[in-house]
């Protein structure tokens, strides 16, 4: 895997180094995933409300897939 953008480099670093702050379990992630995605779609700062989520998503491919699927579903208007 090569880092082509600053975001790619940050994601790679997060995967290699692990979270900086408090850790979130997959169960905790699943419990707040909808709120996190809703904040993303509302252009609010989801990391301010759920600070451990981004690090968990960077390091957990299963939760990241759930996040990406939910985000895509709601962006396409299926959540309304």
CB 9 within 8 A of CB 42: no
Token pair in block for residue 71: 């985000």
Whole-model pTM? Answer: 0.69
Q: How far apart are CA 28 and CA 64, in angstroms?
A: 13
pLDDT tens readout for residues 57-68: 988 999 999 999
Look at residue 6 in the predicted model and tell me its pLDDT.
76
Residues 30-41 as b/e (b if ≥16 CB within 10 A, e otherwise) read: eebbeebbebbe
Helix 61-75 with 26-41: angle, nearest 10 deg:
30
Look at residue 41 in the predicted model and tell me its pLDDT.
94
């Amino acid at each position: 895997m090569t880092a082509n953008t600053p975001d790619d480099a940050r994601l790679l670093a997060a995967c290699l180094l692990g979270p900086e702050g408090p850790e979130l379990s997959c169960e905790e992630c699943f419990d707040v995933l909808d709120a996190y995605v809703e904040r993303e779609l509302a252009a609010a700062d989801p990391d301010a409300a759920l600070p451990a989520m981004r690090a968990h998503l960077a390091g957990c491919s299963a939760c990241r897939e759930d996040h990406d699927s939910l985000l895509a579903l709601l962006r396409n208007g299926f959540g309304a």
